[in-house]
Amino acid sequence: MIDKNSKIYIAGHSGMVGSAIWRILTARGYVNLIGASSETLDLKNQQAVIKYIVSEKPAVIIDAAARVGGILANTNFPYQFIMENMQIQNNLIDSAFQSGVEKFIFLGSSCIYPKFAPQPLKEEYLLTGILEPTNEWYAIAKISGVKACEAIRKQYGKDYVSLMPTNLYGTNDNFDLNTSHVLPAMMRKFYDAKQNNHAPVTLWGSGSSLREFLFVDDMAQAVVFALENKLPDYLYNVGIGEDLTIKNLAETIQKIVGHQGEIIWDITKPDGTPRKLMDSTKMHDLGWKHQVSLDEGIQKTYDWFLENIDRFKQVKM
């Protein structure tokens, strides 16, 4: 049984998702959380990961570590996105299995589902069609992680579960325009343009694609829910069940930031998947549901961005 004294290793604890999980678990009274920086532990190094897990003997491993990025990063670095993510998750999953860790929570992404799958996306749509080409490298890596956890669960009866979040955003997000996802990238662009006399902002695509967004603290609560309960299936979507167009998202962020300039849509750039709405009925039926609305979450994220603006000013875009 997991209790507040159980040793819990959060891989990727300093990232947006990992730090949110750490924060929420600490607030709930968990006192034996461990993490290791990339300088201390290279998760791509199999022997180093095995040594760490054997030495620390965690009761639970939460895998929030990954190489992530938006369309640009996935397009420019396909090999790194497939190989590094497979190395990270394979080392963690196999080390957990080999050292007897009974509970493993693997975090993936909604991009694992086929590009033209029926909407909203259900868990059973996995591997029923072609992937979105702009992020298939990351998706294939994450699919392999889901199936590895399913295989261990099926063959050995261990409580290894995969949570597939929709698009995440929030405090401690990445605002580097070369590697960030759409929401923080927009926020950074509107902020910079506001500082530049409300200059026009150019955004990729037509703005017609539909996307769903989940505040990172709500994702962390879903992880806690999976930690404190033995979920009956191997794969669960985690989302809010609502989406909006990228154009509407841009206008919402623009309003919160206070940018008053023009938005220019560059239709020579890709839109990505036409729609990615998650069906999170399975998680909702078990008792988890999001708490933070999109407007509230964007405001919280922007407040955090402004509080930490000095670190972002160091990188000129």
Residue 247 marked in a binding site: no
Residue 239 marked in a binding site: no
Residue 235 marked in a binding site: no
Query: What would the two tokens of residue 217 be?
Result: 């603290």
Residue 14 marked in a binding site: yes
- DSSP for 171-237, please give it: TT----TTT--HHHHHHHHHHHHHHTTS--EEEES-S--EE-EEEHHHHHHHHHHHHHS--SSSEEE
Residue 241 marked in a binding site: no
- Per the CB < 8 A criterion, the answer to whether 241 and 293 are in contact is no
Q: Report how far residue 108's alpha carbon sits from residue 105's, in angstroms, rounded to the nearest whole number.
A: 10
Q: Is 138 a catalytic residue?
A: yes
Q: What angle do CA 46, 48, 54 make, to 5 degrees?
A: 100
Q: End-to-end alpha-carbon separation of the chain, Å?
A: 49
- Per the CB < 8 A criterion, the answer to whether 185 and 178 are in contact is no
**Cis peptide upstream of residue 133 (ω within 30 degrees of 0):** no
Residue 107 marked in a binding site: yes
Residue 129 marked in a binding site: no
- Per the CB < 8 A criterion, the answer to whether 141 and 155 are in contact is no
For residue 99, what is the enclosing H or E element? none
254-291 exposure pattern, b = at least 16 Cβ within 10 A, e = fewer: bebbebeeebebeeeeebbbebbbbbbebbbeeebebe
Residue 142 marked in a binding site: yes
Residue 108 marked in a binding site: yes
Residue 41 marked in a binding site: no
Residue 16 marked in a binding site: yes
Residue 165 marked in a binding site: yes
The total number of residues written for the chain in this structure: 317
Residue 127 marked in a binding site: no
Q: Report how far residue 12's alpha carbon sits from residue 1's, in angstroms, rounded to the nearest whole number.
A: 24
Residue 278 marked in a binding site: no
In angstroms and rounded to an integer, the radius of gyration of the C-alpha atoms of the chain is: 19
CA distances (Å), origin 190, targets 10, 113, 205, 227: 33, 31, 17, 38
Of 239, 225, 233, 220, nearest to 121 (Cα)?
239
Residue 168 marked in a binding site: yes
Residue 211 marked in a binding site: yes
Name the active-site residue from 9, 30, 113, 138. 138
Residue 15 marked in a binding site: yes
Tell me the binding residues: 12-18, 107-110, 142, 165-168, 181, 189, 204, 211, 271
Among all residues, which ones are annotated catalytic?
138
Tell me the binding residues for NADP(+): 12-18, 107-110, 142, 165-168, 181
Tell me the binding residues for substrate: 189, 204, 211, 271
